[in-house]
Amino acid sequence: MNIIENQADEFCKHFLPSNPGSHPFGSYQAFIDRVRNSILQYYKPNYKLEFVARVNRNTKKIADAHDEICPHKKTGHKCSSDEFYQNALFFLQQEIDYLRDTISPSDFSESEKKSIDTTLEKVLSDLNDIKLGQELTYKDVIDEIYEIRDLYYLNKKNWTQLLIGKLTELVAGGILSETLSKQIIEEVQKNYKSFIG
């Protein structure tokens, strides 16, 4: 989990009500206003997007948990908490859509993140198949890869340089083979030749 996700989680602890009717900031308008004010602290649109996407994810989790226990759902009556979550999720999604349109081409899009995640998951799966008796080494590599995946808020060039640096460090430390390191770099270069130099 990166610093922006931590900040979003902390925000949700204070301002995302699990029971909106009894919360001092119980209106969805007040909640959305607080989200919008909070993202003003971030300069880059991709940082703002990371924050709002995390708040959105947390809101969905709480809304789903509420749905499972809400007595109004069974009776078909209107529920103020459900209304809060539906409106909050609607406006959070609007904010996400707007922020996605402001992302620079030098930053990662959601589809690019998913593509890299798929590649890294394949590499981890391949590593899992060959770990045989090297659990400590395997765990080190997994930890390093997950740490890098948490840094998508960096621009593509910086993220890729960090990835290559980490892989070089893992090879130098004898944790990762040079062959596997090259395989990972080739996968990234295949999709992102324009910013690897």
pTM recorded for the entire structure: 0.62
Burial 27-64 (b: 16+ CB within 10 A, else e): ebeebbebbeebbeebeebbbbbbbbbbbbebbeebbe
pLDDT the model gives residue 195: 44
- Can you give the pLDDT at residue 125? 73
pLDDT digits (tens, 9 = 90+) for 78-93: 788 888 999 999 999 9
Question: Do the beta carbons of residue 119 and residue 112 sit within 8 Å?
Answer: no
**95-134, pLDDT tens digit by residue?**
999 998 888 777 777 777 777 778 777 777 766 655 545 5
